[in-house]
Amino acid sequence: MSNKLQGKVALITGASAGIGQACARALAGEGAHLVLTARREERLQSLKEELEPLGGKVVFVTGDAREESTAVNTVKAATDAFGRIDFLINNAGAGNYKNLVDTSAEEYDELMDTNVRSTFLFTRQTVPVMLEQKAGTILMLSSMAGVYGFGGEAVYCMTKFAQVAFAQALDRELRESGIKVGAICPGGVKTEFALGRGRNEEGVAQSEMLDPEDVAGVVLMACTQSPRSRIIEVQMRTMAESLA
């Protein structure tokens, strides 16, 4: 631990598992205070108990990231506890790995709300805090599916491209106010999320996908940039990827 982030405050959505949980551990390991949100209270409580001995304070809000009230309550919890938000990690998301004709309108709505609406809601509530500070970093946990279109993942790709576009536009909108905005775009990652719809647990476990800690390392890198530099976009793929 080098305490690079001592005194800094990070808000992480979808923090109860996978990449969100790995990000919480990585940032706490550098001394950051954490504001965590997800739907599973028992997991958030367990993570709080694990990470607070590292030195930073941890608060959490249980709720659905698709609901505006969750974003409002989480940002309020951050400002009440710490008076600021230095990093927003928009990690909440869902996967759907199906052909278009097998994807229902209900599944489309669920995916758009989980991946895009949640990103908008938390960013919308956090930006005023960062504008007042004249500083902050916002990261969208997108995907390589937000860079390239993949067959059998059209709707998922749509949501992930939206996150990348949102990050690019906000980089231009907010940079003069001292706010950095970027997108992290990993390939497949071994998490509950990777199961989505259309994959099975055994296939994910036996794959050579990235580990959540690989992605958390890049998030930490983006959060520890000097004031003079920013991470706009990072694309990540496993070393096991075929060269064919």
Question: Which residues carry out catalysis?
Answer: 156
Contact 204, 194 (CB under 8 A): yes
Q: What angle do CA 25, 12, 158 make, to 5 degrees?
A: 120
111: which DSSP letter?
H
The rounded Cα 57 to chain-centroid distance in angstroms is: 20
CA distance 139 to 125: 14
Joined together, the tokens standing for residue 54 give: 């590292």
Contact 8, 25 (CB under 8 A): no
Find, among 219, 212, 242, 203, the residue nearest to 97 by Cα: 203
CA distance 99 to 102: 5
CA distance 204 to 185: 18
CA distance 92 to 16: 10
Other C-beta atoms closer than 10 Å to the C-beta of 228 total 5
Joined together, the tokens standing for residue 144 give: 């390589």
